[in-house]
A and B are shown apart, each in its own frame.
Chain A
């Protein structure tokens, strides 16, 4: 194959050796796993040297978890993209990592093909939402009469974004969403990226609360 240069360079951060080995084996056919780390300081050091395209980041680790890695790398290496990978479904974990700068969040039960797909999407600068994350976002941005909207641009979802998120929560793939809504896959990706931006920037109460739970404010 001549597209060796185009293969994505992926770095794994997870404190479970078994899980790293499994992901490495599964992803080997799709991407280059250029390195792995089992702890936060090791991850920070190696990512700085290797500069991978995408880092698969475990949320729960000793010494601050994925959040600590994100904080250390985000400013110095803005071109490295992070995809959070976790067994946790807790809202504050999901929202917390996204607000700290991760471009996506998937659970560890994801299939290898879907994971490779997600990595490719994150590397292209798009966002990746698991169905559950889509559900959280819909919940957090739900129109509540008592919730003041400070910045309509950031604090509200458009109808189209809401529709896309609903289909994501229903387990639709991007291709299926595009077909269902009669739009292109690129447009679906744009909508999801916009939602990600709102998720990271908005000061809606629900998001601030989740962020506060993880001391992210």
Chain B
């Protein structure tokens, strides 16, 4: 967690200075107003359809206790405030006696808030402690209300019941009042239905949230497990296998080199490459032939490709010619490294295959040897391209292949390193 230099001010209940539940004290503390003013405001508001009482109940349900709250000792002064509350309520009922509906709605709303509050608050692990500390005379209360599964269910059902009773009551009272069936009663019915749904939603929200979090954790866990399994399979099938083969062939430098190189390539592909198909993309096709030559002739092919484009017939011919040149280098040049460089330019593709091997005299290559002439030079010219072979004995060989890009459609040049 980051340490925030400016403490975030949050609204808490203040149980240390409570008269009823510490709501007014908490608000007063937060606003920096005298606590009496807040209390007076609640009382005043209560005369308006019991709004103050409802607000108080909602605040009680919603506001958390401060983290380091020291629960106040049970205070007999509190008895007075509860007494005053009761008397006030009675007076209110008497005052508006003939029309008790407002009061009833107020009380029912308070019931809903209390039920929701019970459900919402049980996420707090400090509850259990608090219960057994504030009511030491009734230790069983702690065990009933503590947050093991049974009491969780109990409290959830209790809270839910309160919410439902409150809502049904509100609907019933409203229904009695509005029994004169007219258009507005339908509107009220709808309103009550919405209120009822909201109430149920309110009651269920913490449970649904908890379930959602659990599901998400589970899903994340499963994905992680899957990735781990995939990695384990790859390491087991490939890396360990290759290492075993290397140990068995430790004396044979060439096969050790080939095994190591092949494994390196497959790991690299696994780590970095997007899996384009060799039949679709030039870069993938060139990488495939490079891999094939590496495997067959135990040479390293340093492949560098700039740009990319889709494979069509001339490009396929270019790739085949490049393969032939690589095979020649791998077979005859007597080197450990061959360079393959390809660049897609706006109007042509260039491919260079170069080795620093023994080289040869081009004129001494016999006509019946298909390698250079047939597979490279003639193939390139047949598809409109050009091949050039530069070689000197002792100075290596370079094969240069160029293939023009003709039509606009083929000039879809995309970066290779995306």
* A residues with CB within 8 A of B: 89-91, 109, 131-132, 134-136, 138-139, 142-143, 166, 169-172, 206
Partner of B341, one of A109, A139, A142, A166: A166
**Known contacts A91-B417, A170-B339, A171-B302; A139 and B307 CB within 8 A of each other:** yes
Q: CB-CB < 8 A to A206: which residues of B?
A: 415
Partner of A138, one of B337, B343, B354: B343
- A170/B352 in contact, CB under 8 A: yes
The 7 closest A-B pairs by CB, nearest first: A171-B339, A135-B304, A170-B341, A169-B304, A91-B417, A138-B306, A170-B352
Nearest Cβ on chain B to A61's Cβ, whole angstroms: 17
- Which residue, of A90, A132, A135, has the highest number of chain B Cβ atoms within 10 A? A135
- B306/A142 in contact, CB under 8 A: yes
Residues 255-313 of B contacting A (Cβ, < 8 Å)? 268, 271-272, 300, 302, 304-307
Partner of B417, one of A109, A139, A169: A139
Q: B234 an interface residue at 8 Å Cβ cutoff?
A: no
Nearest Cβ on chain A to B80's Cβ, whole angstroms: 63
Question: What is the size, in residues, of chain B's interface with A at 8 Å between Cβ atoms?
Answer: 21
**Known contacts A90-B272, A170-B354, A171-B341; A131 and B415 CB within 8 A of each other:** no
Q: CB-CB < 8 A to B307: which residues of A?
A: 139, 142
Q: B416 an interface residue at 8 Å Cβ cutoff?
A: yes
A-B contact list, 16 entries, CB within 8 Å? A109-B300, A131-B302, A135-B306, A135-B341, A136-B417, A138-B306, A138-B343, A139-B307, A139-B417, A142-B306, A142-B413, A166-B341, A169-B304, A170-B304, A170-B354, A171-B354
Given A90-B271, A138-B343: 11 more A-B contacts, CB < 8 Å: A131-B302, A131-B339, A131-B341, A134-B304, A135-B304, A139-B307, A166-B341, A171-B302, A171-B354, A172-B354, A206-B415
Considering the chains assembled together, what is the distance between the CA atoms of A91 and B268 in angstroms?
Answer: 13
Considering the chains assembled together, what is the distance between the CA atoms of A170 and B352 in angstroms?
Answer: 7
Considering the chains assembled together, what is the distance between the CA atoms of A189 and B50 in angstroms?
Answer: 87
